[in-house]
Amino acid sequence: MATVRTRARLHAAPSAARASAHSIDELRALVLDRMLAAAQARGAAQATTQEREAAAGRLDAAVEALALQTEAAREELASLAIELALEIARQFLCSEVDAGHMQLERVVRACLADSGAGRGDARVHLHPDDLAALEGVPFRDRTVLAADETLERGDVHVETPLGLLVREREAVLAAVRERLSGSHT
């Protein structure tokens, strides 16, 4: 076997020496194996760190996506709650009008007051059933009540020289929807 001579640089003077049972080639192989094992351990640790960082990135993205979905779900829930509340109000209002529990005289008087006609001429258009319900109720001398088949029960149109005041259930509900929609955003 050929002898290989290598020079070693030492950081300090040797303090002890011992004989090895291994040849220089075996020692070189052992050192290389240890260096390879250490390099593999460093690589595995680096891969684990990279995997953790990648997993953390995916987790952050998932949390952000969930936050966006939660906000969208909240907005949809608020919108659905408004629609449900309006439908309940619509059904309640219809049943109250149909049962005759609506204070129709008060509604007509409020519309007349809102019209700005004062004691002037006013023509109040009502559904025929509402007109019949107000039969015998006194209003201002220059106020005329008239049946209008195109109106829904509970709707009131007041025509004056100043213009037309319209109070309709659906318009009131639409205004409520608009206000509620604006308040939840």
State phi, psi for 166 to the nearest 5 degrees.
Answer: -115, 125
Report helix angle 24-98 to 169-183, nearest 10.
Answer: 150
**In degrees to the nearest 10, what's the CA dihedral of 91, 92, 93, 99?**
110
pLDDT digits (tens, 9 = 90+) for 64-100: 999 999 999 999 998 899 889 888 888 888 888 777 7
Q: Give which of 100, 85, 110 is closest to 132, Cα–Cα.
A: 100
* Strands lying side by side in the sheet with 143-147: 143-147, 122-126, 156-160, 163-167
Q: Which domain holds residue 84?
A: 23-100
Residue with more model confidence, 83 or 181: 83
2 domain residue, yes or no: no
Do 109 and 177 share a domain, yes or no?
yes
Question: Strand locations in the chain, DSSP E?
Answer: 122-126, 143-147, 156-160, 163-167
pLDDT reading at 17 higher than 80 = no
- Band of residue 159 on the pLDDT scale cut at 50, 70, 90: very high
**For position 143, which CATH number holds?**
3.30.2320.30
The count of domains in the chain is 2
Query: Residue range 41-69: average pLDDT?
Result: 87
Last residue of a domain, one of 73, 100, 127: 100
42 domain residue, yes or no: yes
pTM of the prediction? Answer: 0.54
